[in-house]
A = this chain, B = another copy of it.
Amino acid sequence: MVIASVDGSMTSFDSEHSTSDISLRDFQAKIRAMYYDKDVQRGVDGTFMWLMEKVGELASALRQGTPEELALEFADVIAWLATIANVAGVDLSSALQEKYGSGCPGCGRLVCTCPMQEKP
């Protein structure tokens, strides 16, 4: 997907990947470009409040939203997580690799065999 940036150059979420797939690192960078100046002014606490609002909207959409509404609420929650990660200096892609890159963190398997109550 190619989009026009504010300075007229062309950019994309997925220039190296298949259509509609997103590199998490690219997405976090895009959210940083879009919102970082505002995010640092708001800080982690103020940004976390926005995340909680979006989590509430996700809960509502899971109960009674259309599939389209539900998808957009998931997108908002991930975007606000990326925003907080930017302010906190966390690379989400590396974090996921570290925790889940070798399989389930509990049992170490690609198909988890942990007891039901122990999913990590």
Contact = CB atoms under 8 A, between A and B. Distances in A.
Contacts of A85: 74
A77 B5 CA distance: 30
Contacts of A26: 21
A113 to B, nearest CB: 9
A26 to B, nearest CB: 8
Contacts of A22: 23-25, 93, 96-97
Contacts of A37: 111
14 contacts: A3-B102, A6-B103, A20-B94, A23-B23, A30-B100, A34-B112, A35-B104, A35-B112, A42-B116, A44-B62, A48-B62, A70-B90, A72-B98, A77-B81
